[in-house]
Structure 1
Amino acid sequence: MPQENLPACPLCGRPIPPEAKQSLHHLIPRLRGGKGGPTVLLHQICHNEIHATLTETELARDFHTIEALQAHPRLAKFIKWVQKRPPAFHSKTPGKRRQR
């Protein structure tokens, strides 16, 4: 399938090829009232980084839009890094999980 016909990850903007690890992200976490709410299809690595960076409470309160997620300093740095990787790239989440 040509890359222009592939869904794009709203966080990093890279296409999501069928062979890539992918995941649905609830913009408002299910445990914070988002069950049945809006979801977005992300690369698995992008989804992992969101949850390694922010708590469920922070996601529900302040980071329930793609724009807010992209503006977070750690996620912005991650996005800049991952945009240089091929669309199907996946690895363990870089860096340490944020201390709670």
Structure 2
Amino acid sequence: MHTDDPICPLCLRPIPKGVPQSLHHLIPKLKGGKGGPTVLMHHICHREVHASLSEAELARDYNTPEALRSHPRLAKFAAWVSKRPPSFKSKVPGGMRKR
């Protein structure tokens, strides 16, 4: 792990090179966020964000890293995943859950 690795804004762990990562639009593209601010996250953290919140909730109430961390389910997830190594990946197959 390098000290210059980006930090995931949800779990606050470094994102080492080679670890699955995702670019998260703080305001969803479907809600006017195309070209707006983005943050780099662990793929597992990004999946949990979209499993926990609707696009409307993300746009309206959870459009900052601080707001995401304040959501009860995401706070619980972040506390759990922060105990795993930065290279931790979910063993659950499949993509994002359908709404």
TM-score (norm 1): 0.89
Q: Partner of 1:80 in structure 2? A: 79
Gaps (5+ residues) in structure 1?
Answer: none
Instruction: Determine the C-alpha separation between the residues in 2 that align with 1:83 and 1:15.
Output: 10
Identity %: 66
- Find the aligned partners of 1:85 and 1:63 in 2 and give their Cα distance: 24
Which SS does the other structure have where 2:89 is aligned?
coil
CA RMSD of aligned residues (A): 1.5
User: 1:89 Cα shift?
Assistant: 0.6
- Aligned partner of 1:27 in structure 2 is 26
Q: What is the CA-CA distance between 1:3 and the residue it aligns to?
A: 2.7
Distance 1:5 1:61 in 2: 32
1:34-49 pair list within 5 angstroms: 34-49=33-48
Alignment deviations for residues 28-58 of structure 1 (CA, whole Å, 9 cap, x no partner):
0000000000000000000000000000000
Aligned length: 94
- Structure 2's unaligned 5+ residue stretches are none
Local SS of the residue matching 1:35: coil
Give runs of ≥4 in structure 1 deviating > 2 Å: none
Distance 1:7 1:63 in 2: 21
Q: What CA distance in whole angstroms lies between the structure 1 residues aligned with 2:66 and 2:39?
A: 13
Residue 79 of structure 1 aligns to which amino acid in structure 2? A
**Amino acid aligned to 2:61:** D
CA distance in 1, matches of 2:44, 2:12: 13
What SS class does the counterpart of residue 74 from structure 1 fall into? helix
Report the alpha carbon displacement of residue 84 of structure 1 after superposing the two structures with TM: 0.4
Q: How does 1:1-100 map to 2 (within 5 A)?
A: 2-91=1-90, 92=92
Task: Give deviations 1:64-83, integer Å, cap 9, x for gaps.
Answer: 01111100000000000000
